Amino acid sequence: NKIGVIFDLDGVIVDTAKYHFLAWKNLANHLGFEFTEAHNELLKGVSRVRSLEILLDIGKVELSEEKKQEFLVSKNEEYLKYITKMGPEEILPGAKELLDTLDSLGIHYVLGSASKNAPLILKQVNLFERFSGIVDGNSVSKAKPDPEVFLIGAKKLNLKPEQCIVFEDAIAGVKAANTANMISIGIGDKQTLHKADYNFNDLTEVNSSFIKELIN
């Protein structure tokens, strides 16, 4: 009964949503409209390109392809200013403890994130070396809710999808895990993530007895 774990990054291991928010808000303001924290919720787990489309819809702004490309670059440049200041103190509560638990049980884990900046972020918080593999926004052609990112993760783990457990904070990610036939664990609001097989408010609630139950 071998299992493996696939972790989403933003919202599960670290909270980079707050930095995405600052950078997207700056762009919206530049384009002449407001961008709120509620708007930012719509971008969680969503790819960078899709995020820009949603943002432009909110502002009812239409742009040429060239302008879109330009703003995708400048948004990411601003985002990177925040990311490069991140440190291990920004790891979300319970994440390191859960990795320790998995290590002690001999369970391998990989990353399954939509972010093209995922390797850099993991390096900033000193977790990069701990993962057996990284699947990020650079390695997929289809964004969540498409299961591609997690199916590649299963391959990296040398496991069948049914043997994989996914930790996700976004609706699109839970959907991707379910479509992949994996065990989905929603981290965050239970109502929002009601499609997940299991729900927890954060990783501090995920203890070793829960993991052991999943193995058996």
Q: Which residues are catalytic?
A: 8, 10
In the complex, what is the shortest distance from the CB of residue 54 to ligand B16, in angstroms, rounded to a whole number? 10
Cis, bond preceding 145 (omega within 30 deg of 0): yes
40 contacts which partner out of ligand B16, Mg ion, none, CB within 5 to 8 A by kind? none
137 contacts which partner out of ligand B16, Mg ion, none, CB within 5 to 8 A by kind? ligand B16
Interaction with Mg ion in 5-34: which residues (CB under 5 A)?
8, 10-11
CA distance 180 to 151: 7
Pick the closer one to ligand B16 by CB: 157 or 167: 167
Q: Which of 13, 99, 170, 174 binds Mg ion (CB under 5 A)?
A: 170
Backbone angles phi, psi at 184, to 5 degrees: -100, 135
Tokens of 137: 């926004």
In the complex, what is the shortest distance from the CB of residue 83 to ligand B16, in angstroms, rounded to a whole number? 8
Map residue 141 onto helix, strand or coil: coil
CA distance 7 to 135: 10
Interaction with ligand B16 in 30-69: which residues (CB under 6 A)?
43-48, 51
Size of residue set near ligand B16 by CB under 6 A: 21
Size of residue set near Mg ion by CB under 5 A: 6
CA distance 3 to 154: 10
Backbone angles phi, psi at 108, to 5 degrees: -85, 155
Interaction with ligand B16 in 100-159: which residues (CB under 6 A)?
113-117, 137
CA distance 204 to 176: 24
Report the candidate in 111, 145, 113 with the shortest Cα–Cα distance to residue 129: 111
Tokens of 195: 């499609």
User: Is 112 among the residues that bind Mg ion (CB under 5 A)?
Assistant: no
99 contacts which partner out of ligand B16, Mg ion, none, CB within 5 to 8 A by kind? none
Q: Which residues bind Mg ion (CB under 5 A)?
A: 8, 10-11, 45, 169-170
Q: What residue ranges bind ligand B16 (CB under 6 A)? A: 8-11, 17, 20, 43-48, 51, 76, 113-117, 137, 170
